[in-house]
Amino acid sequence: MNLVILGPQGSGKGTQAELISKKYSLAHIDMGKTLRRIAKLDTPLGREIYRIQNVTKTLVPSEILKEVLNVKLNSFSREQGIVFEGVPRTEDQREYVEEILRESGRKIDAAVFINLPENESLERIEKRRTCKQCGRPLILGHDVKTGSDKCPECGGEIFQREDDSPEGVKKRLQVFREETMPVIEHFREKGILIEVDGRPSIDEVQKNIDQKLKAYF
């Protein structure tokens, strides 16, 4: 069972991907996190990814994505089901992901789309902060009161990710609308799309996904 989880920024797809992977014993490939980790490295690939994500704010080109994804996929057995997060984000990427899955006798069985209106996306991201030390995502007004508070988990300093700035988010929402929506429509036409409303609480969204996902297991 291989799943793709799709949704705009702030839809909670990371949290849901994690919950699904635990519940159904699936591996979790978080492409955004993986790329950010590589972007911190002082290597040619790291510097290139950093520049794309923080300066040009565009999508990482498919050659880089292929390289990273291949390494990731090779680290799991074929029988191991996977939840993909942050990939595929474009029709090109979708074709590529389907191709390498096919090569290893796998396929995408279902795609979960967490739908969230753009204004809600912006509002949520505006409040998102990250701990410098442990990397934990924190929400202003929920996990911490102000941006000068320390991380409740480890006491580390907190900051706003560069790509979480309002301009960064607007750009990413535009990319989602133009590049990722066609991928979602593809899965809808194939009859394997599970669409849920991303506005309710994490628990509620999880229950809704779970109810619809059951049919696939």
Stretch that binds Zn ion, among 7-15, 50-58, 63-71, 125-133 (CB under 5 A): 125-133
Q: Which residues, 138 to 157, sit near Zn ion by CB under 5 A?
A: 151, 153-154, 156
Closest CA to 3 of 107, 95, 73: 107
- Are 89 and 183 contacting, i.e. CB atoms less than 8 angstroms apart? yes
- Are 98 and 108 contacting, i.e. CB atoms less than 8 angstroms apart? yes
| Angstrom distances, CA of residue 74 to CA of 71, 80, 109, 146, 200 | 5, 11, 19, 42, 36
**Phi then psi for 40, rounded to 5 degrees?**
-80, -15
Min dist CB 20 to Zn ion, Å, is 25
**Is residue 15 a contact residue for Zn ion (CB under 5 A)?**
no
Site string for Zn ion, 45-74 (x = CB under 5 A): ------------------------------
- Of residues 32 and 156, the one with the C-beta less far from Zn ion: 156
**Is residue 131 a contact residue for Zn ion (CB under 5 A)?**
yes
- Of residues 36 and 106, the one with the C-beta less far from Zn ion: 36
CA atoms of 43 and 51, how far apart (whole Å): 12
**Is residue 81 a contact residue for Zn ion (CB under 5 A)?**
no
- Of residues 100 and 154, the one with the C-beta less far from Zn ion: 154
Return the residue of 133, 140, 149, 179 that touches Zn ion, per CB under 5 A: 133
Cβ count near 115 (within 10 Å): 14
Which residues contact Zn ion (rule: CB under 5 A)? 131, 133-134, 136, 151, 153-154, 156
